[in-house]
Structure 1
Amino acid sequence: MSSKIVHIESAQQFSSLLSSSRIVVTDFYADWCGPCKAIAPFYEQLASSLTRPGQITFTKVNTDNHKDITQTYSITAMPTFMVFKNGRETQRIRGADPKALDAAVKSLASEAESSSADASSSSSGSWIGASLPRGYSDITDSVDQLNLDFLNVDSEAGNARAVFNTAQPSAISKSKSTGEKDWIESDTDDQLMLYIPFNGALKVHSLHITSFPTEGDDDIVRPRTLKLYSNKSNVLSFDEADSIPETQEITLQDSDWDAKTGTAKVDLRFVKFQNVSSLVIFVVDGDGDGEKTRIDRIKIIGETGEKRAMGKLEKIGDEQGE
């Protein structure tokens, strides 16, 4: 058995690997499965040649011993190979298919080799401005972007979806945009009201907020005071937000902002954000005397929390290995 393969012993260990390794390849197998045994030597060869610490990690999950993990990822066939990038599933291969597995893994290995290991870049091309907390991942793709509702946004800046752009902010890349601006700014004063619905119930651990005040323009500032409201059915008016209790209030300090990425990590009281279908972020004021608050990116960090009932397991593939 290849010493490069990590044999998963718990759901916590698996979550930790998903957050600490850029790419994770997982073999869901069973001891009784003939096709699983047949493809195991090939999987070991891939692990031996392509494992890269912190970049590519090969794991195995015994479905009989870890039914909680099996259920979480809706594994119904043996073997199933899953590929994760930055904690998110990108590919699933059902059955003992060496050709498909080889193509998927080697494509990712090539991608990882050519990519920087810097925290502000990811192998999928999805930019992230701060390190991820242990055991959690970027779940911004769970945002229901069709039903976003932002108040007091300057129409000459980007639209609501701009802050969920997966690309590196133009303020860092210094690229000359030929289309819409990839950030938002407040309009009549420094306040913003952001209604962010999700496609499912999430466990939200923290937020990453990126802001690059325009150099030489004292009127553009970063957010300072934030009030968060969970599970609202629609955007709040500014008067309404002042009249109801917030789920949490945060005041950002200068020291919270990373100089390189322009990003502040906003830690939440996790116990209050365990079953979240939407967030309202009320930017109460900006950090300074400027009249316009700018936000370039928002990242949602946590767990999707979605689980499906586990069906009957079956084995798929060439039975000759039995």
Structure 2
Amino acid sequence: MSHNHCHDDHHDHDHSSSEEMGIQYNLYQKIDKDNLQCLNESIEGSGKTVFKPWDKRLDRTNFVESDADEELLFNIPFTGNVKLKGIRIASEDTEYHPNKLRLFKNRPNMTFDDVTMDPDQVFELQRDSESLLEYSPKVVTFSSVSHLTMHFPSNFGADTTKIYYIGLRGEWTPGHRHGVTICTYEARPNLDDHKLKHLDSVSRHIN
């Protein structure tokens, strides 16, 4: 079943496409890294290091390993709205590789207590040490994502899970929510000012 959801780029493209892939897999630049959370990471801050440039996808210097058990949970806020089109994951070709990915859209600050709810999409992962496989999120569901939660509940049998690279491909647009909030806020005092002036003129007229 999983072959319907992913494909092996190794056969679809020649080596000259690597630069193009680097351009496509640039959503790591649009992540609000200061507010990115990785729960159950064995080393604090290591979860952030797996979101890196395409040409660093095979780099084994920085990686995240789970701590108490095999679960990892990433809360990923973006600096705007994202239309998510592709996900790639690199780990070891061993039991430490995660075997499932559960995606949740626009649910900030999720914890392990929250992951019992139904995810927006689930992928059965295959072992992939070179980011050859791409998993395709449902376009309709993941067309306006301001926050993405990635839950890796299990692996291929190890006590802990390791991830070296998570690549996200898609389109980014600036978020407009903040601007709308400011406009609404500014409109209200103008109305209030107008009413107050009106009341003042009435009271002065009576006096």
TM range (shorter): 0.5 to 0.7
C-alpha displacement at 1:203, in angstroms?
0.6
Q: Unmatched 5+ residue regions in structure 1?
A: 1-115, 172-180, 309-322
Count of residue pairs the alignment pairs up: 160
What amino acid maps onto 1:162 in structure 2?
Answer: T
The answer to whether structure 1 residue 298 and structure 2 residue 166 are counterparts is: yes
Judged with a 3 Å threshold, the aligned counterparts in structure 2 of structure 1 residues 204 and 155 are, in CA distance, closer, same or farther, namely same
SS in 1 for 2:99: strand
Residues 73-99 of structure 1: CA deviation (Å, up to 9, x unaligned): xxxxxxxxxxxxxxxxxxxxxxxxxxx
User: Aligned residue for 1:140?
Assistant: 28
**Sequence identity percentage:** 26
Judged with a 3 Å threshold, the aligned counterparts in structure 2 of structure 1 residues 250 and 237 are, in CA distance, closer, same or farther, namely same
User: Aligned residue for 1:281?
Assistant: 150
What amino acid maps onto 1:249 in structure 2?
Answer: V
Judged with a 3 Å threshold, the aligned counterparts in structure 2 of structure 1 residues 270 and 231 are, in CA distance, closer, same or farther, namely same
What amino acid maps onto 1:239 in structure 2?
Answer: D
C-alpha displacement at 1:306, in angstroms?
4.0
Moved over 3 A (4+): 305-308
In 1, the alpha carbon distance for the partners of 2:167 and 2:27 equals 8
User: Aligned residue for 2:121?
Assistant: 248
User: Aligned residue for 2:101?
Assistant: 226
What amino acid maps onto 1:154 in structure 2?
Answer: S
In 2, the alpha carbon distance for the partners of 1:151 and 1:307 equals 26
Judged with a 3 Å threshold, the aligned counterparts in structure 2 of structure 1 residues 291 and 203 are, in CA distance, closer, same or farther, namely same
Contact in 2 for aligned 1:143/1:197 (Cα 8 Å): yes
Contact in 2 for aligned 1:163/1:295 (Cα 8 Å): yes
Judged with a 3 Å threshold, the aligned counterparts in structure 2 of structure 1 residues 117 and 159 are, in CA distance, closer, same or farther, namely same
The answer to whether structure 1 residue 238 and structure 2 residue 127 are counterparts is: no
In 1, the alpha carbon distance for the partners of 2:43 and 2:29 equals 24
What amino acid maps onto 2:80 in structure 1?
Answer: G
Q: How does 1:1-322 map to 2 (within 5 A)?
A: 117=16, 119=18, 122=19, 128=22, 138-155=26-43, 159-166=46-53, 167-168=55-56, 169-171=58-60, 181-213=61-93, 221-234=96-109, 236-242=110-116, 244-254=117-127, 257=128, 261-286=130-155, 288-306=156-174
Contact in 1 for aligned 2:80/2:175 (Cα 8 Å): no
User: Aligned residue for 1:38?
Assistant: none
SS in 1 for 2:140: helix
In 1, the alpha carbon distance for the partners of 2:171 and 2:28 equals 10
Q: Unmatched 5+ residue regions in structure 2?
A: 1-14, 177-207
C-alpha displacement at 1:184, in angstroms?
0.5
Residues 193-244 of structure 1: CA deviation (Å, up to 9, x unaligned): 111110001111121111125xxxx6x511111110011121x2212111x2
C-alpha displacement at 1:280, in angstroms?
0.5
SS in 1 for 2:113: helix
In 2, the alpha carbon distance for the partners of 1:292 and 1:144 equals 26
Decide which structure has greater helix share: 2
